[in-house]
Structure 1
Amino acid sequence: MQKGTGRNIFVAATYAATLLLGLILGQNYVDQQSNNPGSSLVPIGLSDNSYKIQQVLDLLSNTYVDSLNLDSLQNGAINHIVAHLDPYSSYLLPNESKAQSEALEGTFEGIGLEFFNLHDTLMVVGVIGGGPAEKAGLKVGDRILRIDSTYVSGRKIAQNTVDKMVRGKKGSTVAIYVARDNDIKKEPFKVIRDQINVSSIDVSYLIKPTIGYVRIRRFGLKTAEDFKATIKELKKQGAQSLILDLRDNGGGYFHIAIRLASEFFKDRKMLVYTEGAHENKREYYSEGEGEYTDGKLVVLINDGTASASEIVAGAVQDWDRATVVGQRSYGKGIVQEQFDFLDGSRVNLSISRYYTPLGRSIQKKYTANWSNMIDYASMYRGLWLLDTTFANAQVYKTLAGRELFSGGGIDPDIKISVDSNTLSLLYQEIVKSSYLEQFVYERFTKQLPAYSIENFIQGYHLPQAEYDKFILYLKDRDIIVNERRSKDLLKLIQSDIEAIVGRYYFGREAYFKVKNRRDEYVRRAIELLMPPVKNTVET
């Protein structure tokens, strides 16, 4: 399915129940869809009560004691019904639908600037290379004082408000007033908005002389073609084996996941099949002659690996093409379809389940919590209970004899233990507070480090004295870290701060390169891929 069909199938597990939408909107909805030939929604099997919700809306509109916003009422009704279908089906308002499309398509109209709100001052912490902001002369470290006629310094302004100011129609101009190195620039930087393309590949590089590493954030519209180009470049640089990092990849477009998985097979292989109550079984195959068909492959997953990324992991695991390393994946095995409305809103609806080549369903068991419609008080209390264990796990065997399981996600071939420190409430509080970033931007941005990017990645380590200052920094902000917890969190927080410093000075890729230095998943993957050491005997 390609962009423009109006019905992009993608996995992220979401949707199911076309009829209920007709019940919500009644004949007005049907009339609207009749003018939209790209839609497949039709009023099939309507009962005598089919228009009850529309009748209620009409009743409220014409009779209720106060004036009402009918759009809000309709949105609420749709959201209520769709949210109760399964854990993933959803109704998106126009702005939410647009944001989802931009994230998956990897493009938006803006200026290519990333900022951080440091003490109510917008500090530039990232500039997209070759983008409008860089072309206009803006730099990392600039402090934004004013955008057009609106002063933003010293004021509590929400990020979405700033986004609306800087984003706009391609070709339009926005004036950015900044302070640089304590010098307030009198003249603004006039930035001409343009199309901004953001790759879904976070980083790709040779992590060892013969081992390539690629981390994919999501399966967007251009992910497959970007991945193919990336593999070609890594092979030119000497890559003979590959680490594909799908950790925290929540999914994306279904057809893109299939195209990317095809790159690992030289012949035609079934990668996944789908089936649903209203969807006949459909099988999807690799195209053959992939770009990376012979080298060793390790795929990294964790509990944030879901949907489209689980399709890729499941396919290469079922065909014995890769070793899967990490933690059990999320377990989101439902195919979703997007249904767009004329006002820009959208319903993401579950239409079928997907199965790996061996026939495994990795969908996590979920239980509805709204069977008793009379009990309105509890209706929104934990709508869905997600099972964290393998549900009715069935054993499957690959051609190589490996035992794999269905239910509850992709179980890795090699398990990595969870670092309990990352799950601690204390660490989660520190991360959510943004004090890590604040500490870095207050202390480490005064002057450029005396390192090249290569030397920084290989050799920079946060001194113990700076770590101790960070612990005191937290104390001053009412986050108390005792001596024992300080020792427990030392390596984790050191790595976080080092990575944030790297990102500030050397860009997004440096962040991941620094984090990978102490990453147990990556260490284990390298261990699997490194060629064996040959023992030589002198005679």
Structure 2
Amino acid sequence: MYKLRKTIFILGILLPMSLLAQLNSRNDNNVKELDANKTTRKISTLLYYINNYYVDTLDMSGVVETAIVQTLKELDPHSAYISAEDVERADEPLKGSFEGVGITFQLYKDTILVVSPIPGGPSDKVGIMAGDKILKVDGEIAYGEDITNKWVMEHLRGDKGTKVDVSIFRHGNIDLLDFEITRDKIPINSMDAAFMLDDNTGYIKLNRFSKTSLQEVNDALLELKSQGLKNLVFDLRSNSGGYLGTAMSISDEFLPEDKLIVYTEGIHTPRQELVATSAGEFEDGKLIVLINEGSASASEIVSGAIQDWDRGVIIGRRSFGKGLVQRPLQLPDKSVVRLTIARYYTPSGRCIQKPYDGGNEEYYSDFKHRMEHGELIHPDSINFPDSLKYATNNGRTVYGGGGIMPDIFVPLDSVRYNKLYSQFIRKGIFNSYVNDYLDKNRVDLMNTYSDFEEYNDSFSLSDDDFNNFLEVAKNKDIDIEDPELTPNVDFIKLQIKSLMARNLYETSDYFETLFPMDKEIKTALEVINDNKRYNNLILKK
């Protein structure tokens, strides 16, 4: 899908083990020979002494794991240890699948509530429906205080082809309904939504860069083209990254042949460049990329390449600032160390990794510091030194050293996302109200609105229903004050409507319902529909 200079093939920010031999072409001149007496022999001798002479009996494997974790913390914020039993689960979101029964669920009042069966999955095939409550699993009680997410995973996940019996309560039925489900491979979609914002502009939201993301994006682009796609809003807000290879492949969809997408380099890893190929589903047409403080790693590779080549306009707030590449290295017990081996650089030469010399706690408090300094509200609060100044292909000034700074800054809406709204989220008021509402009204809603389009066009939350929502909040000891509530009433109502759409229809419908009040999308459409403004943003010298 893409060319590589120096004939080196890189597949991920989490580089796969199959490339071990190729990547061993490191610069051995920079490898310092270990003094065994001061390093390896010293550690093994210490472990021998602890195991044989310490006053109490110890779990020595646990001692070693703790030592590994603490050692990696001293290196950088992204080198990490994964125990052997956690390796497979840690990779699931990026591999794009797992094996199980195929439901989206949440624990609601100590009960497993089916939010939706995955279309075409094992549960869908046997007739399990959204709103069902699982009360027994293989004859074992599946409700009460002891039921946790971990319990559900352990009982419903399993190898493909194995069977599990569930007993379900369904509204309108007196007796429990029994189902036998044969587990299968379940896809984990990395694309949250794809739809048309207007007659010419499409929208794609990606939540991670997984093994399946390129195919998902390509399929979405083809579908949107059939609906008249000429311009695209590509939403990477709060996308924390994933496979480097996927980020490069998706960048290739937008960039012309031979354009450098990214290069990596480390003291033990020679410079490796990856460039775009002749393939590409959307190399023409206006392109907007949305980012925010949660957009990291692979998201920053894509947005950095788009910005450096002036291919599109970046809108939102400064991204996270992760410019380090990890490689998984297997230890003898099958556990894995994800070790940082290189930094990545955008086409203009920027390394957007933010500083981490203040330690991990300081590093991960960055969002708090941005809030305190007013950066999320005022772009003038961000100061980049001239030493980090770079230029795009058209000569526009951009900066390295701390994330991707957007071409158009959209502040965090502190009025909309105020203390009251945060309490609604934190205390689960939205989910609690929506689940109760749909438990009582799901059948009537589905009979009234035959599909999402009809629901989106016609349904609105009544004032009485909104007052009921506020009563749910008050019963959770939330003080509701008019100055915080009044400016937000329409948005809160739309949020409730969007959550209902997600539960009644598809995940994508949540975003399609909500987008009319999304300020970043609104800004993107304004820019796209103003040719002069769009061109000035990417052509400015």
Alpha-carbon shift at residue 56 of structure 1 (Å): 2.5
Matches within 5 A, 1:477-496: 477-496=476-495
1:149 paired with 2:139, answer yes
Corresponding position of 1:399: 393
2:237 match: secondary structure? coil
Alpha-carbon shift at residue 410 of structure 1 (Å): 0.7
Alpha-carbon shift at residue 423 of structure 1 (Å): 5.2
Alpha-carbon shift at residue 187 of structure 1 (Å): 5.2
Aligned amino acid, residue 223 of structure 2: E
Alpha-carbon shift at residue 345 of structure 1 (Å): 2.2
Corresponding position of 2:242: 252
Corresponding position of 2:374: none
Matches within 5 A, 1:280-295: 280-295=270-285
2:197 match: secondary structure? strand
Alpha-carbon shift at residue 525 of structure 1 (Å): 1.1
1:49 paired with 2:47, answer no
Corresponding position of 2:322: 332
- Give the distance between the partners of 1:224 and 1:181, measured in 2 at CA: 40
Matches within 5 A, 1:124-163: 124-163=114-153
- Give the distance between the partners of 1:406 and 1:62, measured in 2 at CA: 52
- Give the distance between the partners of 1:338 and 1:313, measured in 2 at CA: 25
Matches within 5 A, 1:460-471: 460-471=459-470
Aligned amino acid, residue 408 of structure 2: I
- Give the distance between the partners of 2:103 and 2:384, measured in 1 at CA: 45
Cα pair distance change 1:381/1:362, threshold 3 Å = closer
**2:261 touches 2:275 (CA, 8 Å); kept in 1?**
yes
Matches within 5 A, 1:279-428: 279-369=269-359, 382=362, 386=366, 389-390=382-383, 392-393=385-386, 394-421=388-415, 424-428=418-422
Alpha-carbon shift at residue 384 of structure 1 (Å): 6.5
Cα shift readout 1:384-441 (whole Å, capped 9, x = no counterpart) = 6658555535322223332212221111111111111465444333312222101110
- Give the distance between the partners of 2:486 and 2:263, measured in 1 at CA: 49
**1:175 touches 1:190 (CA, 8 Å); kept in 2?**
yes
Aligned length: 498
Corresponding position of 1:10: 12
1:467 match: secondary structure? helix
- The structure with the greater share of residues assigned to helix is 2
Cα shift readout 1:92-145 (whole Å, capped 9, x = no counterpart) = 223432222110011000011111222111111111000001011111111111
Corresponding position of 1:432: 426
Corresponding position of 2:92: 102
Cα shift readout 1:164-196 (whole Å, capped 9, x = no counterpart) = 100001000000100111525455210000001
**2:139 touches 2:166 (CA, 8 Å); kept in 1?**
no
TM-score, scaled relative to structure 2: 0.86
Query: Structure 1 vs Structure 2: percent identity of aligned residues?
Result: 33
Cα shift readout 1:300-330 (whole Å, capped 9, x = no counterpart) = 1111110001000000111110011111111
**1:177 touches 1:185 (CA, 8 Å); kept in 2?**
no
Corresponding position of 1:79: 69
Cα shift readout 1:430-463 (whole Å, capped 9, x = no counterpart) = 3122221011101233233122300222343333
Matches within 5 A, 1:450-461: 450-451=448-449, 452-461=451-460
- Give the distance between the partners of 1:428 and 1:235, measured in 2 at CA: 38
Matches within 5 A, 1:11-26: 11=13
Alpha-carbon shift at residue 505 of structure 1 (Å): 0.3
Alpha-carbon shift at residue 352 of structure 1 (Å): 0.9
- Give the distance between the partners of 2:267 and 2:219, measured in 1 at CA: 39
Alpha-carbon shift at residue 340 of structure 1 (Å): 2.6
Cα pair distance change 1:136/1:265, threshold 3 Å = same
- Give the distance between the partners of 2:303 and 2:288, measured in 1 at CA: 10
1:203 paired with 2:205, answer no
Corresponding position of 1:27: none
- Which one of the candidate residues 214, 222, 237 is aligned to 1:224? 214
1:183 match: secondary structure? coil
1:176 paired with 2:169, answer no
**1:9 touches 1:337 (CA, 8 Å); kept in 2?**
no
